[in-house]
Structure 1
Amino acid sequence: MDHEELVRKASEGDVEAFVDLTRRFQHFAFGSALAEVRDFQHAEDIVQEAFVAAWTGLPALAEPAAFPGWLRGIVRHHAFRVKRRKRLHAEPLADAGDIPSDEPLADHIIEQRRQAAAALAAISELPGKLREPATLFFVHECSHQDVATFLGLSLPTVNNRLHQARSRLKQRMLTMVTDTLHANALPDDFANRIGRLIEARGELVEVLFDPASLPDLMAELAVSDEARQRSVTVQVMQRSGDGIVRGLAASPAAGLPRGATVLNARRRSRTPIDRTQLDRLVPLLTTPAVDGRSDKVVETGIKVIDVMCPIRAGGSVAIAGEYGTGNTVNMEELVRRISGGSDPVTVFLFLPPPSEIWPPSLDENYSISAALKEEGSSEGTVGSMQTFFVGGQAGPWTAERLAALAPIDTVIQLSRKMILAKNYPAVDVLTARSRLLDENLIDQADIDVARRARAAIAEWRRADAAADSRADPVVLERARKLQAFFSQPYYVAEPFTGRPGSHVSRADALRGCREILDGRHDDLPAEAFYFTGSIEEIRAAAAGM
């Protein structure tokens, strides 16, 4: 997109377009400012002030093609103010005619700009510990506080290193020639790591990055809050496209200014989300159902979910499991099954911290988004379904931890015990839940089936764990069949299972559960119910046994 189109969009309030303009013209503006004031720190301040003024004044710019010259005028205006503050003194009126013009001669302007270009090249030859803060400060419009935030240094250390950098740059300027700029490219790593704050609402933060250099899911970001001289840590929850990432702030983010500098720290955040944060976050991220109903079910075709933890249209879903229980597999299966619908669904995928259970996660270069891409998976935000990756805790999901998910409408709890028992998907029907069932928002008959199923499977597990259970073996066998009925082939797992994915309507799933509990299929072996689809498919499979 050419700069004229960006100017048009920015003048209409498009923050992304203005950030792109800033990126394209920041070196130009810095060079102009440096040529005017011949002082790196003042030039950096001038450029920042100039871009703020440009954002405010863009709607008044009649001709987008004039933007470069218009911006140059703003830079020169701010530079003139800086020079006046530095040099302003009184002269007798009688001597006014002898006062030289503030306008430099043309050859002087050329020389100043040559020196500015040489200075940029000189930065690239500084020692590593000086080059990083100098690059951030002199080239990428970062203040001392920004540099301290980004590099994890104290403010005095940054001041000291920038002082050393200035001293070396002044020495280099004595012998530097213009050609050096072309022979020594400036390091661009930090430019790719820097984003700009679009908006902060409560603890929800939206940041714009270069689409080609997005931070990883669950990555830690640092927002420089210069007014309060602090750094706000943000955990990336979603990469929604077009360079925009959404994250959860570890501390209140209200008051952070639009355009604030944000750095991708390139390390994974390990902080788990807590109940208080969920309470505030869920309302910000969910969207009501299309027709405004609160009792509408989004059918997935997955028996155990549609019966035991149905998803609410416009509601929220938690996928909560340990490593190795299929967290991302279940996310991607939902994408394939419900993302094409009209009703929005918001999924919170709780990822455990890196663990020896999943050795790749311990690698400091491990990337969640890269792993998903390698598996052929999306990042869960497709069509009507949006997914947010949030930090979970290590170990099994206890009753206390599950209780902290109360703000979420549906909890799909995945259990390692289910995996060991070869129940796929590994949804634990005793701990999975749905507000649609708990608050009696759907047909009572459907609620009764889910409660009967949960009670039957709970009794079967108790009897299985007890050596001298006196439970009715017929009832226990029905519960065993019911648990097997809840296993089902997934579309995303077809390459691994060799079985085609299965879709069972919610009505058929409820009917199948009811008939199993009522003894309608006592004549079939339990093995016939395992890892298949509807009751009709089960009977067909049993006939071939």
Structure 2
Amino acid sequence: MAISNIDEKEIKETKETKGTKGTKYTLGRITKINSQLIEIKFQKSHAPKIGALVFTKPLGSKFSVFFEVARSDNDGTVFAFALSSIVGIKIGDIVKTDGKGIRVPAGKETLGRVINLYGKPYDFASGEDIINAKTYLEIFDAPDTDVDFDESSIDILETGIKAIDLLLPIPRGGKVGLIGGAGVGKTVVTQELINSFVAQHDGLSIFTGIGERTREGHELVSEARDLGIFNKTAFIFSQMNEVPGARFRVPFSGVRLAEYFRDEYKKDVLLFVDNIYRFVQAGMEISSLLQRIPSEVGYQPTLFSEMGSFQERICKNKNGSITSVQAVYVPADDLTDPSVVASFTHFDSIVVLDRAIAAEGIYPAINHLDSTSDFLSARTVGDKHYKVASDVMGILEKYRQLQDIIIISGLDGLTEADRETYETARRIRNFMSQPFFVSERFSGKKGIYVTIEQTVESFGRIVTGELNYIPEGMFLYKGHVSEVIEEFERTSNKIGEIIEKDDSKKAKKDKKKEKKKNKKASGEK
């Protein structure tokens, strides 16, 4: 077959191209296959540009195999990495392209659906194998919008999570990194944020799963249904078993859909990414396929530019905002790893989850001394909030310093003032814990949403030390400080009743003994 431009009428229509009447395709031929990378020969004048989507349908297969052009030579040869399984393709197969990039469906049709990076559903609702959306968008065709840089209009997003709202405020339209190793609670915090945003702020959420396990994705979707937020959330996944190209491009599908809801629906959108580290990993694999010389620790030389091309699209404009929460896996708990550093530079708030705090049974296991927020200032959160937050941070910092003395000398080695600070810090740390709505079925504790006003008021009382008479264990998993006081009073009353009952029994027993003794003495006389 000659390699040339042909009209759609001359080729067999496929499910992927159905409905694109009048589309013209350029044909090429596969000349080399190297793992997930293929070499394709086009006519020199018709070679597609970098970023174009090409596809072929293996003989006997129901589904097409997709590739993205990553490099081209002057003679019409292009190199493309796979976006789906390459099973069935062979040298000599014909590929097609219309010159456009990856497209994702957009609009209300995607809400309450679970799809892959180019819109193929995983959930197969109603039995269909495509999303019948009116609008399809190229994932790299970012809209031209004016970013809102007006500092006077900074709006802090209330999450309902005390440990975040007090010390790590999140700006509407900002980016937040959830940093932590495996098993410290990144996904649970992410799920709780989705719940609070949809339930309390009437927003829309886009969950982008990069390299997710099937079990994790299934649990997330199931919990979203149970919490009643499923129909206000679009789920875009590239699973762990999929090719690196799919994991490398799925975050761009997520952000493009978020841009559409922000600009066309005039909505505030919460974009979740779990896990951004797997995006970096996929880029490293693609870079290796393209034989690029690696940089430090084996990462791709284009790491920072790739990260920037995604992060810079998350912003606020006159239409609405995209606020992003991104889980970041930390290899070997090393915060200096290049993949972690590349993410750090873009975050407005960094929430570090600590394994040692999790081991103490305090969830969310946030290490506030290692975490930061660019928006914790009197100008953005108010004087009262900032003062309470500063007092809390000062006490927690002093608590860290006192740990060394306690290890050597014990509590007896502390001065009276230091002991008071230590006791206050223990209560602050415990009060940072909170029951989540998404973990009710596992913890048995009803989830609590705490407003910023309630949070500031509660910690404002704790930092004074006025509540140090209450055992520190009673501060665990409470919402407002009034709950702590009520439990203490309730427990104290019960203890008082028990003591009173015991005293009454003892008095009766003593009286009986005395009577018996007097009777005996009377008989002897």
TM-score by length of 1: 0.49
The residue aligned with 1:425 is 364
The residue aligned with 1:208 is none
Q: Determine whether 1:396 maps to 2:333.
A: yes
SS at structure 2 position matched to 1:339: helix
How far apart are 1:538 and its partner, in Å?
1.2
SS at structure 1 position matched to 2:421: helix
How far apart are 1:420 and its partner, in Å?
0.6
Kept in 1, the 8 Å contact 2:39–2:79? The answer is no
Distance in 2 of aligned mates of 1:385 and 1:451: 28
* Structure 2 letter corresponding to 1:487: S
The residue aligned with 1:312 is 171
Kept in 1, the 8 Å contact 2:355–2:365? The answer is yes
SS at structure 2 position matched to 1:493: helix
Write the mapping of 1:158-173 to structure 2, written as runs, cut at 5 A.
Answer: none
Percent of paired sites with the same residue = 20
Distance in 2 of aligned mates of 1:374 and 1:396: 30
Q: Structure 1 residue aligned with 2:270, among 385, 389, 403?
A: 385
* Structure 2 letter corresponding to 1:327: K
How far apart are 1:540 and its partner, in Å?
1.4
With over 3 angstroms needed to count, the CA separation of the structure-2 counterparts of 1:508 and 1:348, relative to structure 1, is same
Q: Structure 2 residue aligned with 1:295, among 135, 144, 154?
A: 154
The residue aligned with 1:543 is 489
How far apart are 1:295 and its partner, in Å?
2.8
Distance in 2 of aligned mates of 1:524 and 1:327: 31
How far apart are 1:543 and its partner, in Å?
2.1
Distance in 1 of aligned mates of 2:480 and 2:137: 55
How far apart are 1:344 and its partner, in Å?
7.4
How far apart are 1:544 and its partner, in Å?
2.8
Distance in 2 of aligned mates of 1:311 and 1:473: 33
Q: Determine whether 1:245 maps to 2:117.
A: yes
Kept in 2, the 8 Å contact 1:304–1:427? The answer is yes
Distance in 2 of aligned mates of 1:284 and 1:323: 38
The residue aligned with 1:450 is 389
Kept in 2, the 8 Å contact 1:294–1:312? The answer is no
The residue aligned with 1:187 is 60
With over 3 angstroms needed to count, the CA separation of the structure-2 counterparts of 1:403 and 1:229, relative to structure 1, is closer
Write the mapping of 1:396-415 to structure 2, written as runs, cut at 5 A.
Answer: 396-398=333-335, 401=340, 405-415=344-354
How far apart are 1:423 and its partner, in Å?
0.7
How far apart are 1:519 and its partner, in Å?
1.5
CA deviations 1:264-309 (Å, max 9, x no partner) are xxxxxxxxxxxxxxxx9x99999759x9854321111111111010
Kept in 2, the 8 Å contact 1:302–1:504? The answer is yes
The residue aligned with 1:143 is 28
How far apart are 1:528 and its partner, in Å?
0.9
How far apart are 1:343 and its partner, in Å?
9.2
With over 3 angstroms needed to count, the CA separation of the structure-2 counterparts of 1:460 and 1:386, relative to structure 1, is same
Kept in 2, the 8 Å contact 1:487–1:531? The answer is yes
Q: Which has the higher helix share?
A: 1
SS at structure 2 position matched to 1:453: helix
CA deviations 1:352-381 (Å, max 9, x no partner) are x89xxxxxx6xxxx5753453355576498
Distance in 1 of aligned mates of 2:383 and 2:459: 15
Unaligned runs of 5+ in 2: 12-18, 42-57, 85-101, 120-135, 237-253, 259-267, 278-328, 492-525
Distance in 2 of aligned mates of 1:288 and 1:341: 24
How far apart are 1:387 and its partner, in Å?
1.6
SS at structure 2 position matched to 1:532: coil
Q: Determine whether 1:46 maps to 2:24.
A: no
With over 3 angstroms needed to count, the CA separation of the structure-2 counterparts of 1:532 and 1:439, relative to structure 1, is closer
With over 3 angstroms needed to count, the CA separation of the structure-2 counterparts of 1:497 and 1:302, relative to structure 1, is same
* Structure 1 letter corresponding to 2:395: A
Unaligned runs of 5+ in 1: 1-39, 52-64, 76-139, 157-184, 195-220, 248-258, 263-279, 355-360
Distance in 2 of aligned mates of 1:294 and 1:49: 54
Q: Which has the higher strand share?
A: 2
Aligned residues: 327
The residue aligned with 1:467 is 408
With over 3 angstroms needed to count, the CA separation of the structure-2 counterparts of 1:234 and 1:481, relative to structure 1, is farther
With over 3 angstroms needed to count, the CA separation of the structure-2 counterparts of 1:155 and 1:399, relative to structure 1, is closer
CA deviations 1:134-159 (Å, max 9, x no partner) are xxxxxx97622597478535569xxx
* Greater mean deviation of Cα atoms: 305-314 or 393-402: 393-402
TM-score by length of 2: 0.51
Kept in 2, the 8 Å contact 1:314–1:344? The answer is no
With over 3 angstroms needed to count, the CA separation of the structure-2 counterparts of 1:385 and 1:459, relative to structure 1, is same
CA deviations 1:424-471 (Å, max 9, x no partner) are 111111122211116953323322222221221232233234323535
